[in-house]
Amino acid sequence: MKYYLIAGERSGDLHGSNLIKGIRASDPAAEFRGWGGDMMAAEGMDLVTHYRDTAFMGFLEVVMNLRTITGLLKKCKADILGYRPDALILIDYPGFNLRIASFAKSGGLKVFYYISPKVWAWNQKRAWKIKANVDHMFVIFPFEVDFYKKYDYKVDYVGNPLMDAIAAFEPDPEFRRRHNLDDRPVIALLPGSRKQEIAGMLDTMLSTQRHFPGYQYVIAGVRNLPSALYDRYLSSGKATIVYENTYDLLFIADAALVTSGTATLETALLKVPEVVCYRTSGISYALAKRLIRIPFISLVNLILEKEAVRELIQHELNEENLVAELKRILPGGDKNLQQMHDYEKLAERVGGPGASERTGALIVHYLS
């Protein structure tokens, strides 16, 4: 069968690549085409558009790029019609994917959604739109099943696909040598995979360096962004940059400063003490405060239903607060052991690996 996948972010590319493996396990002759990134392409998907050209962060940024987004939607719809897939599989990325879902459903396509949009966080009325346009939704958090029940919509809970990626991870014993890292302990910086995130947070993260002279700072870089974004940090000697090797970096890190998103959950599941960082434009932040209906922004805290990791948002994200929190979570700090204890509970709630294979099998089953 022919499958058309759409992922609009780095995390979606990871989960999409594992889902391709999961589908192929049940449908060895499967063909794939779609939008995503290098990891999905590496699994044999014919890549139409890379997510680096579709990632817009925040309300203001979306408004400023409406013409571009409209053009991308038109391009995507035309490509789907030309490919005529047996199934459309949407991966998170709601602003774009919910519009494509409506288009596809009206055209008689079978629509699957893997990793629910966070409609439980804001704009809950979107759940009605999902029910109307998505044939089957595969969710990765247990509480999402109960959320959708309120809309009389049955969804499949498949577990969290991050556990597939983490279960497949094998630490590189030569990692330090390969990247010219010395024996000093490491503080990892995960500033995100979008230009706006790096521009808004990396300088503030690095401002803490003078307070921890015994540590080396290492940035988790991504290849899909221009190298010029990182060049000035290399030339100043403030930090080392490791590209496309975040899990190995976290494996050797004593602590991490992490931009809010999937990386916060990955860091916790890899048992690294962290501080969650987030900053956006003033307009986007003001709108988000009015609309978002959840007490936390990080997945770690949402799953555990408490502030297990500190969230420094907007004006709270400053040198003074970052230094104070790093001191608390580094070895010997008063929050270090508590975070480790909370991470154990987190792993229990998230569950084991197998989400990608379960989802792939269900998709093939529903199509049959």
Here the CATH number for the domain that contains residue 303 is: 3.40.50.2000
Q: What is the DSSP annotation of 114-140? A: ES---TTTS-TTHHHHHHHH-SEEEES
Instruction: Tell me: do 202 and 133 sit in the same domain.
Output: no
Instruction: Tell me: do 7 and 151 sit in the same domain.
Output: yes
Residue 34 is predicted with a pLDDT of 98
Q: Which token pair is 323? A: 């230094």
Name the one residue in this structure whose structure tokens are 């991470």: 343
Instruction: Tell me: do 152 and 221 sit in the same domain.
Output: no
In 3D, which of 256, 278, 254, 259 has the Cα closest to residue 267?
Answer: 256
d(Cα 173, Cα 264) in Å, to the nearest integer?
Answer: 24
Query: Do the bridges between strand 31-36 and strand 2-7 make them parallel or antiparallel, or are there none, so unpaired?
Result: parallel
Alpha helices by DSSP H, 141-227: 142-149, 162-168, 175-178, 195-206
In 3D, which of 198, 5, 222 has the Cα closest to residue 97?
Answer: 5
Instruction: Tell me: do 330 and 358 sit in the same domain.
Output: no
Instruction: Tell me: do 63 and 36 sit in the same domain.
Output: yes
CA 298: distance to chain centroid? Answer: 11
Q: In sequence order, what are the residues at sequence separation of 6 or more whose Cβ sits closer than 8 angstroms to the Cβ of residue 163?
A: 269, 350, 351, 352, 353, 354, 355
The range of the structural domain enclosing residue 311 comes to 168-350
Residue 196 is predicted with a pLDDT of 79
In 3D, which of 177, 174, 176, 194 has the Cα closest to residue 185?
Answer: 176
Instruction: Tell me: do 335 and 241 sit in the same domain.
Output: yes
Residue 253 is predicted with a pLDDT of 98
Contact criterion met (CB below 8 Å) for 159 and 165: no
Q: In sequence order, what are the residues at sequence separation of 6 or more whose Cβ sits closer than 8 angstroms to the Cβ of residue 364?
A: 1, 23, 26, 27
Low-confidence ranges of the chain (pLDDT < 50): 285
Instruction: Tell me: do 71 and 183 sit in the same domain.
Output: no
Instruction: Tell me: do 231 and 338 sit in the same domain.
Output: yes
Residue 261 is predicted with a pLDDT of 84
Instruction: Tell me: do 142 and 181 sit in the same domain.
Output: no
Residue 290 is predicted with a pLDDT of 54
Instruction: Tell me: do 211 and 320 sit in the same domain.
Output: yes
Count of domains observed in the chain = 2
d(Cα 246, Cα 134) in Å, to the nearest integer?
Answer: 33
Contact criterion met (CB below 8 Å) for 105 and 111: yes
pLDDT, one tens digit per residue, over 63-111 is 556 677 889 999 999 999 999 999 999 999 988 999 999 999 999 999 9
Instruction: Tell me: do 186 and 301 sit in the same domain.
Output: yes
Contact criterion met (CB below 8 Å) for 130 and 119: yes
Alpha helices by DSSP H, 56-174: 59-64, 66-83, 94-106, 126-133, 142-149, 162-168
Instruction: Tell me: do 334 and 357 sit in the same domain.
Output: no
Burial of 296 (0-12, 13-18, 19+ CB in 10 A): buried
pTM of the model: 0.80
Residue 99 is predicted with a pLDDT of 94
